[in-house]
Every structure is written in C-alpha cells, then in structure tokens.
Structure 1
Amino acid sequence: MRSSCLAKRLGLIDDVVTLKMPGGKLTIDMQNPSIIMTGPAVRTFDLVVSPEYAHYLSLGLDESFA
C-alpha cells in the first residue's frame, strides 16, 4: 500500500489503483485527502500464540522488542 502512495506522489499511477493481494483484489482510492481501501475481508492465515507470548503482548511492546 505504501508503494502505491509513493507511486501516486511521483505521478506514476492514477488516483485509483487495484492491487492483487493474497486475499483478493484491493482497490486504493487516493482522490480525496484521505485514502480509501476497498476489498473483501477474507482470512489469509491462522496464527496460534502461546499463552506466555500472549501475556507478553498484553503488557505492551517496548523498544527492545524491535
């Protein structure tokens, strides 16, 4: 999505583009001051997180995590 915004800013693409994503096509409309993304809401993967890691995430991430 960020690459679409950059390409638009450089004048390389139109105001409305369609991206092919793993879950289907995503239309990005950059005609207004805001960006509107339209497309299907589909599951693309499942994730299992251990209880310990879920607890860690609930505490909030700090700079050392990155």
Structure 2
Amino acid sequence: MAVNNAETLTLPRARQAETPQSERPELDTRDLFRGNRTVTIDHEGERYILRLTRNERLILTKEE
C-alpha cells in the first residue's frame, strides 16, 4: 500500500511521570489526518506510519 499525502508530525517528548488524564493533550483524528488516510510520526528519531482504515480503525506501524 502506497503512502500518499502523508505528513510528518514531531510530538514533544513525554514527561517521565504519567500525566493525569485531565491534563493530557487531546487530538481529534480529523485534525490529525486533515483529509488524508495516513500520517507519518517521528518519535525519537524513529518513523511510524499511522493509518486510518476503511473501517475507521487506527493502525500504527514502524517504518522500515
């Protein structure tokens, strides 16, 4: 499956202590995908592909 119109996101590093749920950032998938079916996420130098399936489920895979 080809990745088209993917965007690369760089998220801030997680804090050592768990953030209480009420303080966690919240992202709406419509804002995250912006009309695309895939996004590329950069995490500590590793790249991941987040896909939105036709059943509206999310699949995260490490890019090789």
TM-score (norm 2): 0.42
Higher strand share: 2
Structure 1 or 2, whichever has the larger Rg, is 1
Higher relative CO (Cα under 8 Å, sequence separation at least 6) belongs to 2
Higher helix share: 1
